[in-house]
Structure 1
Amino acid sequence: MTSLLKILENEQATVALGQQIAQWIVPPLTLYLTGDLGAGKTTFSRGVIQSLGHQGAVKSPTYTLVEPYEFNDMDVYHFDLYRLADPEELEYMGIRDYFTDRSVCLVEWPDNGHGLLPEADIHLHLRYNESQRQIELQALSPAGQAILDNIK
């Protein structure tokens, strides 16, 4: 599997990358988003979710852990595990029920759910690069590789 490195000049470029990836999404798909606070994980997720058809705001599910978005042909779940104290909490919320054949799951801070989450198809690492952001997209499955091949 390969990886792709991109420079994101501003918030609009981060949203645009999410929109570009959304064009190629076919469920089931799991994306892990890692990076420091403020690196652009939720901004990227907003680009994906709005491009798939959501009309309203996309907020970080920091306190709710998950925000669901239902579409005709797929369910999108946006997770933010930043405040997760123990991965076992995911068992109580029925984490396995979210990862179905019609699900697209965007998981921020996936390391906090280690051992209870399925493997990612794409792992996105966001980093600060002076006033810009740098994103590394790493394909971890054939589905993830197909998306990377389409956005190069």
Structure 2
Amino acid sequence: MRLTLSSEEETIALGERLGRRLKPGSVVLLRGELGAGKTTLARGLARGAGYRGRVSSPTFALAHAYRGKRLTVHHLDLYRVARGEDSEIGLDELLADPRGAVVVEWPDAAGGLWPKDRLEVTLSHVSGGRRAALKATGPRARALQSSRIGK
């Protein structure tokens, strides 16, 4: 599924729609060049999951936890992590959190450690805004990416 997002508000709104569908165990991988809107989309995901505080990029902290009423969104930014180096961030524990969903910027730094059931969102700059390409693999991810998510 491909969507065109003409503003930051539309990017946040897409994240909120996805965030309302997040369930414990959901994994969302965010790809795109610097400034493509990954953190903005993550902000919307956290809001949609019920978190009302400030959401910022965890580039230097590596991970932030946003606790909403129904689940915790673990937001990771692996931009500064060496490829395949996950021991420092406790990736296994975050993925196993029975109340958590995981949202990851720059996921390729962790190699192939991600579960097969995941939603991948690739953001890119296009004339007049951004494009979001969504690819779901597995039943949980397909439930996130329904035909109504673009509205």
Taking structure 2 as the reference length, the TM-score comes to 0.90
Amino acid of the residue matched to residue 96 of structure 1?
A: D
Query: How many pairs are equivalent?
Result: 148
Which of these residues, 133, 137, 151, is aligned with residue 134 of structure 2?
137
Structure 1 equivalent of residue 44 of structure 2:
47
Verify: 1:66 aligned to 2:66, yes or no: no
Verify: 1:99 aligned to 2:95, yes or no: yes
Q: Secondary structure at the match of 2:140?
A: helix
Amino acid of the residue matched to residue 151 of structure 1?
A: I
- CA 1:119–1:110 in 2, change beyond 3 Å: closer, same or farther? farther
Amino acid of the residue matched to residue 134 of structure 1?
A: R
Give a deviation string over 1:10-57, Cα, whole Å, max 9, x none.
100000100111222222100000000000000001011122222221
Query: Is the CA contact 2:42–2:75 (under 8 Å) kept in the aligned structure 1?
Result: yes
Taking structure 1 as the reference length, the TM-score comes to 0.89
Shift of 1:114: 0.7
Consecutive unaligned residues in structure 2, runs of 5 or more: none
Query: Is the CA contact 1:32–1:120 (under 8 Å) kept in the aligned structure 2?
Result: no
Which of these residues, 104, 110, 114, is aligned with residue 111 of structure 2?
114
> Where in structure 2 are the equivalents of 1:15-54 lying within 5 Å?
15-54=12-51
Aligned residues with identical type, % of pairs? 34
**Superposition RMSD in Å:** 1.5
- CA 1:83–1:120 in 2, change beyond 3 Å: closer, same or farther? farther
Partners of 1:103 and 1:118 in 2: CA distance: 14
Structure 1 equivalent of residue 145 of structure 2:
148
- CA 1:20–1:93 in 2, change beyond 3 Å: closer, same or farther? closer
- CA 1:51–1:91 in 2, change beyond 3 Å: closer, same or farther? same
Amino acid of the residue matched to residue 95 of structure 1?
A: L
Partners of 2:8 and 2:56 in 1: CA distance: 15
Q: Secondary structure at the match of 2:21?
A: coil
Runs of 4+ in 1 over 4 A off after TM superposition: none
Partners of 2:115 and 2:87 in 1: CA distance: 13
